[in-house]
Amino acid sequence: MADRITLQVARYRPEEQSAPTFQEYEVPVQKDWVILDALNHVKDRIDGSLSFRWSCRMGVCGSCGMTVNGVPKLTCATFLTDYAPGPVRVEPLRNFPVIRDLIVDLGDFMRKLVGVKPWLVRKEEKPISEGEYRQSPAELDAYKQFSMCINCMLCYSACPIYGLDPKFVGPAALALAQRYNLDSRDQGGPERMEELSTHEGVWGCTFVGECTKVCPKNVDPAGAIQRYKLEAALDWVKGVVMPWGGR
Binding to another protein in span 1-30, by CB under 8 A: 12, 14-15, 17-20
**Closest by alpha carbon to 38, among 65, 6, 82, 71?**
6
Among 70, 127, 131, 245, binds another protein (CB under 8 A): 70
Q: Is 227 in the site for another protein (CB under 8 A)?
A: yes
Question: Per rule CB under 8 A, is residue 239 in the interface with another protein?
Answer: no
CA distances to 33, 37, 50, 69, 158 from 80, rounded to whole Å, are 6, 9, 18, 12, 21
Question: Which residue, 17 or 55, is less far from another protein as judged by CB?
Answer: 17
Q: Are 156 and 172 in contact (CB under 8 A)?
A: yes
Stretch that binds another protein, among 50-58, 81-89, 160-168, 171-179 (CB under 8 A): 160-168
Q: Interhelix angle for 171-181 vs 137-144, to 10°?
A: 170
Chosen residue from 55, 119, 140, 160 binding another protein by CB under 8 A: 160
What is the per-residue binding string for another protein in 96-135, x denoting contact by CB under 8 A?
A: xxxx-----x-x----------------------------
CB of 99 to another protein, least distance (A): 5
Q: Does 230 bind another protein (CB under 8 A)?
A: yes
- CB-CB contact of 59 with 216 (8 Å): yes
What is the rounded distance in angstroms from the CA atom of residue 106 to the CA atom of residue 170? 12
Q: How far is the CB of 8 from another protein (least distance, A)?
A: 17
**What are the beta bridge partners of residue 66?**
73
Minimum distance, C-beta of residue 12 to another protein, in the bound complex (Å): 5
Site membership for another protein, residue 209 (CB under 8 A):
yes
Site mask for another protein (CB under 8 A), range 40-69, x = bound: ------------------------------
Question: Could you count the other beta carbons within 10 Å of the beta carbon of residue 54?
Answer: 18
Counting contacts by CB under 8 A, is residue 189 touching another protein?
Answer: no
Calpha distance 119→226 (Å, rounded): 21
| Residue from the set 1, 58, 128, 138 that interacts with another protein by CB under 8 A | 138
Looking at this protein, which amino acid is placed at residue 120? L
Which one, of 195, 215, 115, 209, lies nearest residue 161 by Cα?
A: 209
Rounded Cα–Cα distance for residues 239 and 226 (Å):
20
Min. distance of Cβ 223 from another protein in angstroms?
A: 4
Which amino acid is residue 127, in one-letter code? P
DSSP secondary structure string for all residues of 101-134: TTEE--HHHHHHHHHT--S---SSPPPGGG----
Tell me which residues touch another protein (CB under 8 A).
12, 14-15, 17-20, 70, 94-99, 105, 107, 138, 160, 163-164, 206-210, 212-213, 220, 222-223, 226-227, 229-230
